[in-house]
Structure 1
Amino acid sequence: MSDTSLQPIKRALLSVSDKSGLVEFGKFLESQGVEILSTGGSAKMLAGAGVAVTEVASYTGFPEMMDGRVKTLHPKIHGGLLALRDDEGHVASMKEHDIGAIDLLVVNLYPFEETVEKGADFATCIENIDIGGPAMIRSSAKNHKFVTVVVEAEDYDAVMTSMQENNGATTGDLRKNLAAKAFARTGAYDAAISSWFASELGETYPQRLNLTATLKQTLRYGENPHQDAAFYVTRSATPRPGIATAVQVQGKELSYNNLNDTDAAFELVSEFAAAESPAVAIIKHANPCGVARGESLIDAYNKALRCDPVSAFGGIIALNQRLDAATAEEISQIFTEVVIAPEADEDAVALLGAKKNLRLLLTGGMADPREAGQIIKSVAGGYLLQGRDNGKVTMDDLKVVTKREPSEQELKDLLFAFTVCKHVKSNAIIYVKDEATVGIGAGQMSRVDSARTAARKSQDASEAAGYDTVMTEGSVVASDAFFPFADGLISAAEAGVTAVIQPGGSIRDDEVIAAADERGLAMVFTGMRHFRH
């Protein structure tokens, strides 16, 4: 049963760092006959606007001291916020100690998060940790049966509406909702401080893990219609370009699966530096069905699409350069759920605008594949936390283990293939030719099945395109982990590969190397694995 009890507001305490809407709200309270208490800059702004205001120091009879650190930590403040108005003992204590009830608290906290994001030094960050604010907010929220607490200026309207409709009072439902919001704010604030402190101390995995994020979007449903879902974003001094920073230029609301797949697509295409060459990744169900570099974006797109045009239908397309009109026109030829790019030409936006169901997202930049970070996954009863897979193999990391060494073109393709492997569900097998995938095997329970699946899909795509030979003929192959047996490599050899890249490290490496030598293949070990579960 909802609490609809009304509580009149006769005295309010306003102390905010965010002054937006403060004067208007103060004038409204004054018009309702509310006594206003305030501190520092808030009091000056209100008084300057002609609003009658009493300084907290005058109200408590105790001066503000220690550079403002001690001003609201006083029994007349917390007693006024915490007292139960229907408890005879509390009422008697208020009368005995001359403590008046405070019915409305408006506080937002020192800008600690913003201070950290600006790169301030340790001492400055410490100084921006609010003490009195969280204490008053928690007092008011705990006593929401009688006290209305506001922690964000966006809630002024709700309070004013309630007071206008209820002769200067707020409803129990409103106070309860605002109290929940208040506790969430202080919880997030403490989590931000805790996380910053852990970072300052170099604690990658602190004893207590505190997570904080802000609701960006309530989604229609989750992976399936019977699951509910929402999208939350985290704060950072240097936000990682991607799905959380993207501006949706057009199209209907993104779904849970759209967001998940678009994130996978953009993270993959960000592996390829825009300054080196255009690159395109096409994603379906969080796995790539085509990835390529090209002379132009449209060339890269067509090469990526060629790998598996059937799966690309209804997929997600990510680009590492500014989307141009020619590429947009080509993309519009098939049904696509989402296109994500750092930027887009006006003509490209206009072309895709004709596709009402297509969402176009612009991130403003590319993600750094080498950037450190953490990945959190929920499991029953807890979380798994690990560092982001920001490992990247270079030419210098490769160890040739076969009699034949790979050619220069094979090396380029091998590195490209191994980079794509990092973003494919294990067991992952990737066939590549001329820096374009020509066969992808993902998520199979055995590596040999992934090799055969990728080859079969390539054969299907080749036949559909009318090619004389299968695209895997003359390609290279990458495996995200070592070949436990030679069968996976043999399947790749039968598909026509000429070179292999894999981490190595199996107890049967000698057998796999021997199988490669028998077939005249070149093979390199990376020493780095890219499982993606």
Structure 2
Amino acid sequence: MPDLYPVSRALISVSDKTGLTDFAAALAARGVELLSTGGTAKALRDAGLTVRDVSEVTGFPEMMDGRVKTLHPVVHGGLLALRDSDDHVASMQEHGIGAIDLVVVNLYPFEATVAKGAGYDEVIENIDIGGPAMIRSAAKNHGYVNVVVDVQDYDAVLAELEANDGKTSYALRQRLAQTAYARTAAYDTAVSNWMAGEVGGTPRRRSFGGTLAQELRYGENPHQQAAFYSDGSERPGIATAVQHQGKALSYNNINDTDAAFELVSEFDPADGPACAIIKHANPCGVAKGGSLLEAYTRAFDCDRTSAFGGIIALNRKLDGPTAEAISGIFTEVVIAPGADEDALGIFSQKKNLRLLTTESLAAPDAAALALRQVSGGYLVQDRDVGRISRDDLKVVTKRAPSAQELEDLLFAWVVAKHVKSNAIIYVKDGATVGVGAGQMSRVDSTRIAARKAQDMAEATGLSAPLTQGSVVASDAFFPFADGLITAAEAGATALIQPGGSMRDDEVIAAADAAGLAMVFTGMRHFRH
């Protein structure tokens, strides 16, 4: 198998025509014969290039609305033939099959068709058949054939042809083949997962794919290699955000920013400004306010210590006053659906702060899969898009919550969904005042959250911690009354929890004894 092998004939059929004519013109200038189909052939001819239609080469017309055009032995024989095999060469000569040394194909825009909400039949028509078949044939025979599926590989191919007098290296052909197989795998993944959603049930086989979005310096720790891959989704978030300034995002930055943006997206901007501050994927402050500045300030006042070096997410366009306040402490990342000129100017003075903007918030109820690798396999589940309304709540105590308590309970419940279990959240007047996360015991989370509120009261000169007169959310039921009693001792007046414990009666009795109001949701929000 040769290292350097010449490119004399290319088959080009692309849906994404970015850079097409320049690339094809460079090939033609080297004497490479161009074969093409349909719209690609027209685009090349319109650019003044000489092109042979694949139908002319095969002697068979395109048919069935273009479904059948490259699925022909003359095409696949030209791709799969081993050039150093006498038998293969004899077959090519016998059947008039010309070698194809370069295939340039990008597939029908299946993912984009799904993303725009197209109907079932339109999506089916955007499943490419001939393209993946050619890609796989060319990639298998990469000892002789180059296969290009990404526009960004055009320059690499041209550079090698220039450096090697019209030839490419085996190393390049290997890299192109790996990219090609990954592309067809990701494409089939998109198709199979879409169909899984359409037909329902639990698929016997699952696959997952992505495209490299960013090489990372390292993972969670410097000794771990890492990279960030996009799944092609157009849902607003970390993968589609625009970075305006600051150094490249790290693995932990991406993880924490995603957590922050997903949380703040729960709060509709029409209902008022909201801010979420995240540290190590857990909220350390979440609040609503009359202005974006007030929302940030109230979130910051929940736990100023943890907010240092944190991630800030906003549900409205970042403005100057809020940017000025955020600039007062070290912040890793700020993400928001836009930023005004004043904010951009203020942050430009903070070279190490990364500012990301999105076109909008993420739909909190958008269906998607959550994936986690375990030894020997994967755990796959739907994203937690569970939400409750006032009508879903069941009052289980003698005292019903007041209107303000009820509003705070619902706010606390939204935050609880985004806190690592065991999660306890104290809320007062639309702002978290204590967050207990990730503890093995629910009562420990309750104590930690209350202690944080007490520390903040001492640091800010308050006469009493803000847990006095607060409400509490628990992501899962209280297995014993001790956690509820601890919350009451911290000053809580109302609680929201799923219910469902064997000791619910005991917990309800303790709430009644303490004069607390408590509601059950019937829904749990474990987050591990």
TM score, norm. by length of structure 1: 0.95
Q: Secondary structure at the match of 1:430?
A: strand
Q: 1:162 to 1:427 in 2, by over 3 A?
A: same
Aligned partner (choices 4, 7, 11) of residue 6 of structure 1: 4
Aligned partner (choices 73, 76, 86) of residue 75 of structure 1: 73
Aligned length: 528
Query: Contact 1:481–1:529 (CA<8 Å) still a contact in 2?
Result: yes
Q: Deviations over 1:12-66 (max 9, x none)?
A: 2222333333333333223222233233333333334443332223323333333
Aligned partner (choices 321, 326, 330) of residue 331 of structure 1: 326
Deviation at 1:400, TM superposition (A): 1.9
* Distance in 2 (alpha carbons) for counterparts of 1:117 and 1:414: 35
* Distance in 2 (alpha carbons) for counterparts of 1:482 and 1:128: 47
* Distance in 1 (alpha carbons) for counterparts of 2:168 and 2:24: 16
Q: Secondary structure at the match of 1:377?
A: strand
Instruction: Single out whichever of 352-361 and 110-119 deviates more from structure 2.
Output: 110-119
Q: 1:394 to 1:169 in 2, by over 3 A?
A: same
Aligned partner (choices 182, 200, 222) of residue 225 of structure 1: 222
Deviation at 1:4, TM superposition (A): 7.4
Q: 1:446 to 1:177 in 2, by over 3 A?
A: same
Identify the residue that residue 454 of structure 2 maps to in structure 1: 459
Identify the residue that residue 284 of structure 1 maps to in structure 2: 279
Identify the residue that residue 355 of structure 1 maps to in structure 2: 350
Deviation at 1:450, TM superposition (A): 0.9
Q: Deviations over 1:373-419 (max 9, x none)?
A: 32111111111111222222222222222222222222122222222
Aligned partner (choices 482, 489, 492) of residue 484 of structure 2: 489
Query: Contact 1:431–1:439 (CA<8 Å) still a contact in 2?
Result: yes
Deviation at 1:68, TM superposition (A): 3.0
Structural RMSD (CA): 1.9
Q: Give unpaired runs (5+ residues) of structure 1.
A: none
Q: Deviations over 1:296-354 (max 9, x none)?
A: 11112111111111111111111111211111111111111111111211101111111
* Distance in 1 (alpha carbons) for counterparts of 2:282 and 2:261: 12
1:413 aligns with 2:408: yes
Identify the residue that residue 475 of structure 2 maps to in structure 1: 480
Query: Contact 1:140–1:149 (CA<8 Å) still a contact in 2?
Result: yes
Q: Secondary structure at the match of 1:492?
A: helix
* Distance in 2 (alpha carbons) for counterparts of 1:435 and 1:23: 57
Identify the residue that residue 21 of structure 2 maps to in structure 1: 23
Identify the residue that residue 432 of structure 1 maps to in structure 2: 427
Aligned partner (choices 244, 249, 252) of residue 254 of structure 1: 249
1:344 aligns with 2:344: no
* Distance in 2 (alpha carbons) for counterparts of 1:140 and 1:303: 59
Query: Contact 1:106–1:149 (CA<8 Å) still a contact in 2?
Result: yes
**Partner amino acid, structure 1, of 2:63:** M
Identify the residue that residue 30 of structure 2 maps to in structure 1: 32
Deviation at 1:227, TM superposition (A): 0.8
Deviation at 1:154, TM superposition (A): 2.7
Query: Contact 2:13–2:104 (CA<8 Å) still a contact in 1?
Result: yes
* Distance in 2 (alpha carbons) for counterparts of 1:115 and 1:476: 45
Deviation at 1:449, TM superposition (A): 0.8
Q: 1:495 to 1:148 in 2, by over 3 A?
A: same
* Distance in 2 (alpha carbons) for counterparts of 1:47 and 1:231: 39
Identify the residue that residue 298 of structure 1 maps to in structure 2: 293
Q: 1:310 to 1:82 in 2, by over 3 A?
A: same
Identify the residue that residue 101 of structure 2 maps to in structure 1: 103
Aligned partner (choices 134, 148, 159) of residue 157 of structure 2: 159
Instruction: Single out whichever of 118-127 and 432-441 deviates more from structure 2.
Output: 118-127
Query: Contact 1:141–1:179 (CA<8 Å) still a contact in 2?
Result: yes
* Distance in 2 (alpha carbons) for counterparts of 1:158 and 1:415: 55
Instruction: Single out whichever of 492-501 and 13-22 deviates more from structure 2.
Output: 13-22
Q: Deviations over 1:464-493 (max 9, x none)?
A: 111111221221222111111111111111
* Distance in 2 (alpha carbons) for counterparts of 1:4 and 1:358: 50
* Distance in 1 (alpha carbons) for counterparts of 2:363 and 2:217: 31
1:397 aligns with 2:392: yes
Query: Contact 1:11–1:35 (CA<8 Å) still a contact in 2?
Result: yes
Instruction: Single out whichever of 395-404 and 476-485 deviates more from structure 2.
Output: 395-404
Instruction: Single out whichever of 145-154 and 425-434 deviates more from structure 2.
Output: 145-154
Q: Deviations over 1:121-143 (max 9, x none)?
A: 33333333222222222111111
Q: 1:325 to 1:95 in 2, by over 3 A?
A: same
Q: Secondary structure at the match of 2:518?
A: strand
Query: Contact 2:312–2:334 (CA<8 Å) still a contact in 1?
Result: yes
Q: Secondary structure at the match of 2:312?
A: strand
Query: Contact 2:61–2:69 (CA<8 Å) still a contact in 1?
Result: yes
Q: Give unpaired runs (5+ residues) of structure 2.
A: none
Identify the residue that residue 118 of structure 2 maps to in structure 1: 120
Query: Contact 1:222–1:255 (CA<8 Å) still a contact in 2?
Result: yes
Q: Secondary structure at the match of 1:301?
A: helix
**Partner amino acid, structure 1, of 2:229:** Y
Query: Contact 2:2–2:143 (CA<8 Å) still a contact in 1?
Result: no
Deviation at 1:204, TM superposition (A): 5.0
* Distance in 2 (alpha carbons) for counterparts of 1:156 and 1:83: 24
Q: 1:70 to 1:250 in 2, by over 3 A?
A: same
1:505 aligns with 2:500: yes
* Distance in 1 (alpha carbons) for counterparts of 2:74 and 2:366: 50
TM score, norm. by length of structure 2: 0.95
Aligned partner (choices 179, 204, 207) of residue 207 of structure 1: 204
* Distance in 2 (alpha carbons) for counterparts of 1:393 and 1:126: 35
Query: Contact 1:4–1:173 (CA<8 Å) still a contact in 2?
Result: no
Instruction: Single out whichever of 153-162 and 461-470 deviates more from structure 2.
Output: 153-162
Q: 1:413 to 1:18 in 2, by over 3 A?
A: closer
Q: Deviations over 1:441-470 (max 9, x none)?
A: 111111111111111111111111111112
Instruction: Single out whichever of 101-110 and 18-27 deviates more from structure 2.
Output: 18-27
Query: Contact 1:138–1:182 (CA<8 Å) still a contact in 2?
Result: yes
Aligned partner (choices 216, 239, 242) of residue 244 of structure 1: 239
Q: 1:93 to 1:384 in 2, by over 3 A?
A: same
* Distance in 2 (alpha carbons) for counterparts of 1:109 and 1:34: 23
* Distance in 2 (alpha carbons) for counterparts of 1:306 and 1:212: 41
Q: 1:444 to 1:303 in 2, by over 3 A?
A: same
* Distance in 2 (alpha carbons) for counterparts of 1:66 and 1:271: 47
1:308 aligns with 2:303: yes
**Partner amino acid, structure 1, of 2:69:** K
